[in-house]
Amino acid sequence: MVTFRTAYEVLHQTGFSDEAILYEMYLSKEPAEVFERIAEQGLFEQLSLHSHTSQYGQLRALFAGDSSWLYEKFRRVLHDDILSGRFAREWSDVHAKGAERLEQIRAEALASEMARAEALHRKSVHPCGCAALASMHDTSRRSDKTPVLVHRAGNSSCEKIFASFVDLYC
């Protein structure tokens, strides 16, 4: 959840619409399909189902940069919260006192800007996962039929192409 929230905040602050962000991240149901393929074929074998652009981007990110910060975060959570028993003690305390703390943090999450945007845009999802893209992209199309999203920041605008939105069409 932290990853989704952080990605949402960065993209929202950059000027992308809530609708475009949320569909790109998960409202399209594409991540569910990808994880199903990962379970069936394995993390690396399922890459062949992606476009060459997607494959290159994912593999490039896998080997680029220093991921020691993520390693340390996982290590810290494992040791400080799980193996130490801290999370279990905290949850036992919360559970013993009733669901008040859980309901408090759930209410806080549901009041977030991202949750409000999600509630609004989830209503426009067709059962197959496609969306009413007309409001998400410019009415014009490129010759390659890739939908064009107009990214607006203040008074300026620039076009951003999300090739994966093509997959949303039924």
Label residue 14 left, alpha or beta by phi (over 0 means left) and psi (-120 to 50 means alpha): alpha
Q: Quick: pLDDT tens for 96-137.
A: 998 899 999 999 999 999 999 999 988 765 555 554 443 444
- Give pLDDT, residue 146: 42
- Give pLDDT, residue 98: 84
Q: Quick: pLDDT tens for 23-73.
A: 989 998 999 999 999 999 999 999 999 999 999 999 999 998 888 999 999
- Give pLDDT, residue 65: 84
- Give pLDDT, residue 125: 59
Has residue 165 got a pLDDT over 80? Answer: no
| DSSP state letter for 153 | E
- Give pLDDT, residue 123: 75
Q: Are 114 and 5 in contact (CB under 8 A)?
A: yes
Pick the residue with more confidence: 120 or 155? 120
Has residue 163 got a pLDDT over 70? Answer: no
Q: Are 136 and 97 in contact (CB under 8 A)?
A: no
Has residue 149 got a pLDDT over 60? Answer: no
CA 21, CA 23: separation in Å to the nearest integer?
6
- Give pLDDT, residue 128: 53
